[in-house]
Chain A
Amino acid sequence: MLLMGATACAPGTHLAYVTLPESNGVAAYRIRDVNSIFTAIVGSPYLAGNSPGPIVVSPSTKYVYVANRVDNTISLFKVDSQIGSLTEVLPRAATGLVPAAMVMNASGSLLFVVNEIGSSISVYSINSSNGALSLVAGTPVFTTPNPVTLAVTPSGQFLYVVNTNLGAIFGYSIAASGALQLVPGSPFPSDVGAFSLVIDPNGKFVYVANSTASTVSILAIAQNGALSPVAGSPFATGTTPVSVAVSKGGQYLYIANQGSNNITEYSIDPNTGFPTVLTGSPVSASMGPSLLLTDPDGFFLYVVSQGSKTITSFSIPAATGELAGTAESTSTSASVVGMAVSH
């Protein structure tokens, strides 16, 4: 997950947390920006629930939330501010069947969980003093079958949920309490096999990777939250795009193509959202790239490859957006399903 609302600072270190469902653990790493070396934090991996998957770091960086896909629970971990290690706070919060994705609003007051088999969205309010979750009244909200992922706008006004079966995006307006209401005109069509989405930091566009069609849809966000495709959308990508990330300023878009083992790079017109493939694109990735995310400062793109069980760092030059390999990757010894990066 991209951590929203983080303040920019010079390269230093970041913390990365990755979920390892095979070992029911959450591995913690400190990444040194100067060389992108991942150092495992002492005691890592930390025990979570059964089959941990989606993971989110709170904007305060004090808490980490992990969805356990077999237990159907959410684990709350406190982050040691000095070390970066995790300590789970029990008991775990119950959620719907098979939580497939999570996202937090920029203020860190609400956590949204999409439950794939439960076909629902659970919303939790977060106690800022201890990180505890409380289910918001009126949720879970039930959806059409098999919602797979979701994203919230930087303003916190709208939530978008991808439904792979329909190849469409459901939009919800978010009340201050966390209650959800369907946006007029929802669902909005994307393309066949809509699988992953991200919202640009300016809150103007939604980018959707369509894994079956091998395209990316770019949808403009209207003031009422309705989505409409930009001219020319959807656009061709590599084979089987499964994850999408956008640079901190919103100028560049990156797509992980699991079928062609590479990353497609685009520059984005800030007004129209129209993508232009960058020189040198696509960039080769390790086998089976499955997840992309940027660091809070926008210096790096991290590529999780389930096939090779590695995480590779690419630097993002602000001037060109063309990914530069740092030649550093870390082996995770098991397939990573979720990853979050914080300061």
Chain B
Amino acid sequence: MLLISVPHLHAQEASRFDVFGGFSYLRFNALTIGYRNDANLYGWNFDGTGYIKLSFGVTVDASGDYGSKISAYHFMIGPQYTWRRDKSNLYVHGLFGKAQNNISIVQPTRSGFESVGRSFGGGFGYDYHWRDRFSIRVFQVDILHSTTFGKGQNDARVSTGLIYHFGHIGHRRRL
């Protein structure tokens, strides 16, 4: 009986560390820098979350998104609260850090303009447990406020991808 129950308990372990990598879409608020319309950017998003308690952790987040003559990067950190279930996680987080926006406007003396400024925001997401040590990030949505080129802008970011879990901090709650 004991031998049978051990793998069961192992399956219910809550990870201490989650590492995510995946695809990102950014709706870039280009109106603030003189574009006719907002811009659609696509790229990557990586983050890592270390849990201090079963539901509370700290997330480090980095993303890069690219579009026509624009590239936008975010490097942020913040607290995350996670509701752990048997087969899924639902979480909210706050983020703050830096944003860097590059605009490729060729000039006689330079290839473009770049600006680095503060960035903060927050969002939520849903992860579905796929198999041992792996989950699928079904979605993560963040609203990010950045100040670059002397202007404030609000961007929306949506991410999806794969999560790798390691370490353990406790046990998942069963439904």
Contact = CB atoms under 8 A, between A and B. Distances in A.
Interface of A: 12-13, 28-30, 39-44, 46-47, 80, 82-85, 87-88, 90
A282 to B, nearest CB: 33
B103 A42 contact: yes
Interface string B105-147: 1111100010000000000000000000000000000000000
Main SS at interface, chain B: loop
Given A30-B36, A84-B36, A43 B113 contact: yes
Given A82-B69, A85-B105, A88-B108, A40 B34 contact: yes
A87 B34 contact: no
| 8 A-B pairs closest in CB distance | A41-B34, A42-B33, A30-B34, A85-B105, A43-B113, A42-B103, A43-B105, A39-B34
Given A42-B113, A43-B113, A82-B68, A28 B107 contact: no
A323 B29 CA distance: 33
A111 to B, nearest CB: 21
Interface in B68-108: 68-69, 103, 105-108
A43 B103 contact: yes
B68 A46 contact: no
A111 B7 CA distance: 83
A40 B33 CA distance: 6
B33 A87 contact: no
Nearest to A343: B36
Contact of B34 (A12, A83, A88): A83
Contacts of B11: none
23 contacts: A12-B36, A13-B36, A29-B34, A30-B35, A39-B31, A39-B34, A40-B33, A42-B34, A42-B103, A43-B105, A43-B113, A47-B107, A47-B108, A47-B109, A82-B35, A82-B68, A83-B34, A83-B35, A83-B105, A85-B34, A85-B105, A87-B105, A90-B108
Given A47-B109, A85-B34, A90-B108, 16 more contacts: A28-B34, A30-B35, A39-B32, A40-B33, A40-B34, A41-B34, A42-B105, A42-B149, A47-B107, A83-B35, A84-B34, A84-B35, A85-B105, A87-B105, A87-B106, A88-B108
B107 A87 contact: yes
A48 to B, nearest CB: 11
Contacts, number: 53
Interface residues of B, number: 16
Contacts of A28: 34
Contacts of A84: 34-36
Nearest to A83: B35
A183 to B, nearest CB: 41
Contacts of B107: 43, 46-47, 87-88
A83 B36 CA distance: 7
Contacts of B34: 28-30, 39-42, 44, 83-85
B45 to A, nearest CB: 24
Nearest to A42: B33
A90 B69 CA distance: 22
Nearest to A84: B34
Contacts of B109: 47
B39 to A, nearest CB: 9
A90 B107 CA distance: 11
Nearest to A80: B105
A82 B36 CA distance: 7
Nearest to B106: A87
B106 A83 contact: no
Contacts of B33: 39-42
Contacts of B35: 30, 82-84
A29 B31 CA distance: 11
A87 B149 CA distance: 19
Contacts of A44: 34
Contacts of A40: 33-34
B63 to A, nearest CB: 21
A83 B69 contact: yes
Interface string B41-69: 00000000000000000000000000011
B5 to A, nearest CB: 62
A28, A41, A85 interface centre (most CB from chain B within 10 Å): A85
A29 B34 CA distance: 7
A90 B106 CA distance: 13
A47 B33 CA distance: 18
B88 to A, nearest CB: 41
B31, B34, B105 interface centre (most CB from chain A within 10 Å): B34
A260 B106 CA distance: 44
Contacts of A12: 36
Contacts of B113: 42-43
B131 to A, nearest CB: 44
